[in-house]
A and B are shown apart, each in its own frame.
Chain A
């Protein structure tokens, strides 16, 4: 199979349509499993009690928010390098989902912070860099919507996304040196995990669920963007209508 064939929106539109239900189904199932393990199977934390259970949403959301920014920047970079329309559409489709996860991470972080730290908002390193990430998502989306010319909107927001991706680690470390209250990372590749195995499993399942959800939603959104930009699928539907009419006769 020649994959490059799907870089054309005409070919990608039906493929995306076929893939969406699968990713959505996997997302729903894994979310159910992950939340069940998180809420009923995972043991109560000896320090934080039950309130820690928000991490099964908070941590995967925070991971996804950063991961999606990088993926968006990669699509933007591919778009700039290969001048491919579909890459820009993908970058455009990813931004709102990434911003949503960033907001979700901030919201659940605040909900976790109230019982644990005693405050809804603390100027902690990771909360702050997450907030700045939200600003960057907002910048990418607002820059795109303020430019009327589609080609310029694509390329300008791609440049900004790429500039942002250089800046994200710098912001992350600068904010970390600036102030840190947050509990140290409990999951890291280098030292292994300090968490109970069930907690870790629930978190990883939720991460995969959020990932699959992102793919499903982004594919659905990219289809909408294609309709908006190219009106090709409309043409396709018209053809189907004509085909049916011919059949009926």
Chain B
């Protein structure tokens, strides 16, 4: 297959999924409000001390980003599974892993990108500033696509299974641990003045690895689910 037709099939899927998301924009809005609410709950629970809030900010923002991604995972494949489109996707001549890549990228644009764009604002609420905010945005920009990639594997595995909402959390959250550690670690080390480059590089490595492996595993899981 030529490069242009590979890109055509990916971009076609992305365009379709984004169009569907725009027509049902409330889904994406729900993710954003969920993120803002979860993050706002922490100062209420922990107390308004600026020093404490600054210390917990990287962890809180990253865990909130993780949960936001997790809760939107059911939207990656389930609608297409229910109306039979997914079965057609398995049958088309294009490799399924490419189509999966397109769907996951679209999922990231819908649920991950808003988190990245909103994070400076949420960081300000926790008293982060200057360079630290930049590192926060950068870490989320590198990390959230990985979350979508890994999450898609879980979403495909639990497709149509009873109790899939909780099950996908159980499967996916342990796999998110490295991303959480490197992501929050980048922000923390930048706050400590060491600079977040090491952790950001590791986040980039995770992203490349997941871009390479996750669509393939997701496609295998989808084939099993649709058998």
Given A143-B158, A146-B162, A146-B163, check contact A152 B227 (CB 8 Å).
yes
Interchain Cβ contacts under 8 Å between A and B, 12 examples: A80-B220, A142-B167, A143-B161, A143-B171, A146-B163, A146-B164, A152-B224, A163-B153, A163-B217, A170-B178, A171-B177, A177-B181
Given contacts A136-B174, A163-B175, contact A156 B181 (CB under 8 A): no
Closest Cβ–Cβ distance, residue B179 to chain A (whole Å):
9
A156 pairs with B225, CB closer than 8 A: yes
Q: Does A160 contact B178, Cβ atoms closer than 8 Å?
A: no
| Majority-rule SS of B interface residues | helix
Chain A residues near B124 (CB, 8 Å)?
Answer: none
What residues of A have a CB within 8 angstroms of the CB of B29 in the complex? none
Given contacts A171-B177, A174-B182, A178-B185, is CB(A139)–CB(B161) below 8 Å?
Answer: no
Q: Which of A163, A170, A175 contacts B206 (CB 8 A)?
A: A170
Instruction: Provide the bound-state CA to CA distance between A174 and B221, in Å.
Output: 26
Q: How many A-B residue pairs have CB under 8 A?
A: 69
Interface flags, B131-163, vs A, CB<8A=1, else 0: 000000000000000000000010001100111
Nearest CB of chain B from residue A98's CB, rounded to whole Å = 15
Q: Which residues of A are found within 8 Å of B37, using beta-carbon distances?
A: none
Q: Does B170 reach chain A (CB closer than 8 Å)? A: yes
B157 touches A156 (CB 8 A): yes
**Distance between Cα atoms of A80 and B217 in the complex (Å):** 12
Known: A164-B175, A170-B178. A146 touches B167 (CB 8 A): yes
**Contact flags A127-149 to B (C-beta < 8 A → 1, else 0):** 00000100110110011001100
Known contacts A170-B178, A178-B185; is-contact A159 B213 (Cβ 8 Å): no
Question: Which B residues from 164 to 202 make CB contacts under 8 A with A?
Answer: 164, 167, 170-171, 173-175, 177-178, 181-182, 185, 202
Number of interface residues of B (CB under 8 A): 27
Asked if B174 and A156 make an inter-chain contact with CB atoms under 8 angstroms apart, the answer reads: no
In the complex, are the beta carbons of B181 and A135 less than 8 A apart?
no
A interface residue count range (under 10 / 10 to 19 / 20 to 34 / 35 or more): 20 to 34
Closest chain A residue, CB of each to CB of B169: A139
Q: Is the CB of A175 within 8 A of B167?
A: no
CA distance A160 to B167 in the complex (A): 12
Chain A residues within 8 Å of B, Cβ to Cβ: 80, 132, 135-136, 138-139, 142-143, 146-147, 151-152, 155-156, 159-160, 162-164, 166-167, 170-171, 174-175, 177-178
For A175, the chain B residues whose CB sits under 8 A away are 177, 181
> Contact: B177 with A159, CB < 8 Å?
no
The interface residues of chain B lying within 8 Å CB-to-CB of A152 are: 224-225, 227
Query: Which B-chain residue is minimally distant from A139 (CB atoms)?
Result: B171
**Residue from A139, A143, A177 within 8 A of B174 (CB atoms):** A139
Known: A143-B157, A174-B177, A174-B178. A135 touches B217 (CB 8 A): no
A143–B224 CA distance with the chains assembled, in angstroms: 13
C-alpha spacing A147/B82, complex, angstroms: 17
> Which of A136, A162, A167 touches B178 (beta carbons < 8 Å)?
A167
